[in-house]
Structure 1
């Protein structure tokens, strides 16, 4: 009987920890819409790219862009040259 209770408590603990980890991972993914490129570049110096496969059409850049489809979509208005990289520098 003690073994059964120990196993049951262990499974409950593991399940509780696994649910807690997913909640914190989802909480970290918060998409922010920036007012302009100056504000976006404070957090992401190279701007935000929609995918890792996009090429910059605007010429040479200093920094590599951060890749995030959701963040790019939220700030699509800041991509003036429509190369799928918002606020590249």
Structure 2
């Protein structure tokens, strides 16, 4: 009986946290569409990049952009030079 209890408890400790945390990554970031770059830069000083490997086509930037594909897609209209970074500064 003791072996069964220990096995069930161990299995619960291993599987429990993985089942409960499936939606955590999605809930962390709220996707907001900003009306212009001034509004977006209040929250994300360096703008928003589509991916971490995206390179800036323009000149030197002061801040590093936040990387989020969903946030970039929501604010794609603000990417004037079409380099994959919206509102870079």
> Which category describes the TM-score, using the shorter chain as reference length?
0.7 to 0.9
1:55-66 alignment to 2 at 5 Å? Answer: 55-66=55-66
Q: Which runs of no fewer than 5 residues in structure 1 stay unpaired? A: none
Alignment RMSD: 1.8
CA separation of 1:66 and 1:23: change in aligned 2, threshold 3 A: same
Q: How many residues align?
A: 89
TM-score scaled by structure 1?
0.80
TM-score, normalising length: structure 2: 0.80
Q: Which runs of 5+ in 2 are unaligned?
A: none
Q: What's 1:26 paired with?
A: 26
Deviation, 1:63, is 0.9
User: Which runs of at least 4 in structure 1 moved beyond 4 Å after TM superposition?
Assistant: none
C-alpha deviation, 1:18, in angstroms: 1.6
Q: Cα deviation per residue 1:20-55 (whole Å; 9 max; x = unaligned)?
A: 222323321332222221221122111011123333
